[in-house]
Amino acid sequence: MFCYQCEQTAKGTGCTKIGVCGKQPEVAALQDLLIHALKGLSLYAVKAAEKGIRDEKMDLFVCEAIFSTLTNVDFDPARFVALIAECEAYTKSLKEKTGLDLAGPSCSCAGKSQAELVAVGETLGVMADATLDADVRSLRELLVYGLKGLAAYADHAAILGQKDPAVFAFIYEALAATLDNTLAVGDLVGLCLKCGEVNIRAMELLDAGNTGTYGHPVPTSVPLGAKAGKAILVSGHDLKDLELLLKQTEGKGINIYTHGEMLPCHGYPELKKYDHFYGHYGTAWQNQAKEFDAFPGTILMTTNCIQKPKETYNDRIFTTGLVGWPGVAHIGDSKDFTPVIEGALACEGFAADTDKGTVMVGFARNAVLGVADKIIDAVKGGAIRHFFLVGGCDGAKPGRNYYTDMVEQIPSDCVVLTLACGKFRFFDKQLGDIGGIPRLLDVGQCNDAYSAVRIAMALAEAFDCGVNDLPLSFILSWYEQKACVILLSLLHLGIKDIKLGPSLPAFISPNVLGVLVENFNIAPTGTVEEDLKAALG
Ligand code: FSO
Ligand code: SF4
């Protein structure tokens, strides 16, 4: 196997024996085969679209299939075998509908066993073509990883009924482009930035889905302790799964807790209205083994990031949606969470109330821009000197204390906006307020990056300047491919001087890095002191 798509890749270069995430070589090979097959399908889908042939079911399948290969989503080989077969069936159908027989990837997988498919996949990895130009490989992979993030957001949006054919069309176009040997470095850079642009549309759709269905988040205090009684913990990012579970547990004497990226769900009016939607438990994804172990109820994983379950909670954890772990019970499309509920009732639950304080959530675009006048006055009057967007993913590798130290050392006349699971490094710090404006504003999940972009753009408009001219610095942490596409979106918007850590992606070649530095002045995080000095001039 060879995989270097995430930040924790082995030795900072690539996982070759087994994934640091727990991905087995068989699954890596099946994922490579699936991506290969999706590229082949995309060649046909592009031609089919030219003939006016579209298939929304196929569009959604493609998003789900790509999302399944994102880090920490699906570790179950059997699920990939099914996805590969479905991809082949769609390709065959498009072949017939278009009457074309295109040269390109075809897997001829029908009737092959899992082991045979693994053997095919082993020949198709990132490094399969040793002669490929290093910069072309780097940009093709950057594009594929950007597409993984884009597909994830498009899938989240589609679940809430928000779809745009232009997003699906780009996914096909870009996947097909990774097979085009005539594309040079400049073309591929352009496609990566286009991926960032299309992702803004996908995130706009997701924002419309979230706020249209559950209302605009409002500032909400969330308990970090527990309430005596039976309990279910919901992790991942999916608001609809949470809502369905809240409905199915009403009146059952079970309290629902969020974990990880589900924390911001407490701010949505249509979710917070449930009395048994109690509080937040635990921190970021990489601490789950310890935290799930200690949780006295059942656990539902709705999306990434799942890690290998410990035996102590293997029978208390459930997956749904695209998440999968071999041997872990999966709740399918019925979304009948009865096993999760019955499991929780059979667990002991929390014996007593515990108080661990609270955190505030719900500072998405509507809430922040609702007090825009106050913020603008505070900036003009000098009460707020600078904004820092300290956002992105958390992770297990050392070096991430930088983000905690950064937030602690940001001067008291500055405001910190945050989003995604990286916030768990500092989410419970009491930073106080500036004239009633909290100094720590939790915009939401990584899925809410659109909200942060809208806040930045509204401030730029109010000050009649560009986003780069605002007193605003981007201090980002990355881990997986949603973060890759958000970065591409920020680059598409022309945002400069981003600090990215805790390490730069292994798949970025020195020349590609050079292009990014030259055009966007992006830089790895340095020391807190240096980066603060640079930001505050
Ligand atoms: Fe974190 Fe995982 Fe949300 Fe990611 S839980 S790391 S960027 O999947 O999606 O922020
Ligand atoms: Fe390694 Fe990350 Fe790939 Fe997992 S997803 S195999 S940790 S590079």
Confidence (pTM): 0.98
> Cα–Cα distance between 241 and 116 in angstroms, integer?
35
Ligand 2: centre distance to CA 22 (Å): 8
Nearest CA to ligand 1 atom 2: 305
Strands 230-235 and 220-223: unpaired
**Is residue 334 classed exposed, middle or buried when 0-12, 13-18 and 19+ CB atoms within 10 A define those classes?**
exposed
Ligand nearest to the CA of 1: 2
* Closest C-alpha among 90, 96, 131, 89 to residue 111: 89
Ligand 2: centre distance to CA 42 (Å): 25
Taking a C-beta distance cutoff of 8 angstroms, is the pair 63, 168 a contact?
Answer: yes
Identify the H or E element spanning 231: strand 230-235
- Across 226-242, average pLDDT: 98
174, two tokens:
């870009």
> Cα–Cα distance between 488 and 454 in angstroms, integer?
16
Please give the pLDDT value at position 495.
98
Each residue's pLDDT tens digit, 146-164: 999 999 999 999 999 999 9
Check residue 279 and report its DSSP letter.
E
Ligand 1: centre distance to CA 435 (Å): 32
Residue of 155, 307, 479 with the most ligand 1 atoms within 8 Å of its CB, for mutation: 479
61 phi and psi, to 5 degrees? -60, -45
* Closest C-alpha among 367, 341, 356, 117 to residue 220: 367
481 lines ligand 1 (CB under 6 A): no
For the annotated binding site for [4Fe-4S] cluster, the residues are 3, 6, 15, 21
Task: Name residues whose C-beta falls within 8 Å of residue 311's C-beta, 6 or more positions apart in sequence.
Answer: none
Residue of 480, 487, 489, 490 with the most ligand 1 atoms within 8 Å of its CB, for mutation: 480
Domain residue limits, the chain = 10-212, 224-346, 363-536
20 lines ligand 2 (CB under 6 A): yes
* Closest C-alpha among 264, 210, 214, 245 to residue 421: 264
Please compute, for residue 321, the number of CA atoms within 13 A of its CA located in the half-sphere on the CB side: 29
- Per-residue pLDDT for 100 more than 90? yes
- Across 63-91, average pLDDT: 98
Each residue's pLDDT tens digit, 9-31: 999 999 999 999 999 999 999 99
- Per-residue pLDDT for 107 more than 80? no
5 lines ligand 2 (CB under 6 A): yes
- Give the CATH fold of the 224-346 domain: Rossmann fold (3.40.50)
What CATH number matches the domain at 10-212, 1.20.1270.20, 3.40.228.10, 1.20.840.10, 3.40.50.150?
A: 1.20.1270.20
Identify the H or E element spanning 451: helix 449-462
Average pLDDT score over the chain: 97
- Give the CATH fold of the 363-536 domain: Rossmann fold (3.40.50)
Ligand 2: centre distance to CA 20 (Å): 6
- For residue 110, what pLDDT band results from cuts at 50, 70 and 90? confident
> Cα–Cα distance between 372 and 414 in angstroms, integer?
16
Please give the pLDDT value at position 532.
98
Nearest CA to ligand 1 atom 9: 446
Ligand 2: centre distance to CA 192 (Å): 21
Ligand 2: centre distance to CA 77 (Å): 16
| Nearest atom of ligand 2 to the alpha carbon of 3 | 3
> Cα–Cα distance between 433 and 426 in angstroms, integer?
16
Percent of the chain at pLDDT > 90 equals 98
Residue of 8, 72, 145, 482 with the most ligand 2 atoms within 8 Å of its CB, for mutation: 8
> Cα–Cα distance between 248 and 181 in angstroms, integer?
52
- Per-residue pLDDT for 106 more than 80? no
> Cα–Cα distance between 129 and 150 in angstroms, integer?
26
Please give the pLDDT value at position 104.
87
- For residue 335, what pLDDT band results from cuts at 50, 70 and 90? very high
**Beta carbons within 10 angstroms of residue 428's beta carbon:** 15
8 lines ligand 2 (CB under 6 A): yes
420 lines ligand 1 (CB under 6 A): yes
- Per-residue pLDDT for 386 more than 80? yes
Residue of 238, 261, 291, 442 with the most ligand 1 atoms within 8 Å of its CB, for mutation: 261
- Print the SS3 string covering 120-147: HHCCCCCCCCCCCCHHHHHHHHHHHHHH
Strands 358-361 and 220-223: antiparallel
Nearest CA to ligand 2 atom 6: 19
Ligand nearest to the CA of 446: 1
Which residue is listed with tokens 């560009």? 466
Q: Which value does ipTM take for this structure?
A: 0.97
- For residue 274, what pLDDT band results from cuts at 50, 70 and 90? very high
Ligand nearest to the CA of 3: 2
- Across 98-112, average pLDDT: 88
Ligand nearest to the CA of 479: 1
Q: Which residues of 213-248 are buried (b: 16+ CB within 10 A; e: fewer)?
A: bbbbbbbbebbbbbbebbbbbbbbbbbbbbbbbbeb
The DSSP string of 330-367 is: EE-TT---HHHHHHHHHS--BSS-B---EEEE--SHHH
15 lines ligand 2 (CB under 6 A): yes
Check residue 378 and report its DSSP letter.
H
Each residue's pLDDT tens digit, 160-212: 999 999 999 999 999 999 999 999 999 999 999 999 999 999 999 999 999 99
Ligand 2: centre distance to CA 421 (Å): 18
Same fold, 10-212 and 363-536: no
- Per-residue pLDDT for 109 more than 90? no
Ligand 2: centre distance to CA 24 (Å): 10
- Per-residue pLDDT for 214 more than 90? yes
Task: Name residues whose C-beta falls within 8 Å of residue 176's C-beta, 6 or more positions apart in sequence.
Answer: 39, 42, 43, 45, 46
Taking a C-beta distance cutoff of 8 angstroms, is the pair 95, 42 a contact?
Answer: no
For the annotated binding site for hybrid [4Fe-2O-2S] cluster, the residues are 237, 261, 305, 393, 421, 446, 480, 482
393 lines ligand 1 (CB under 6 A): yes
Ligand nearest to the CA of 394: 1
Each residue's pLDDT tens digit, 476-515: 999 999 999 999 999 999 999 999 999 999 999 999 999 9
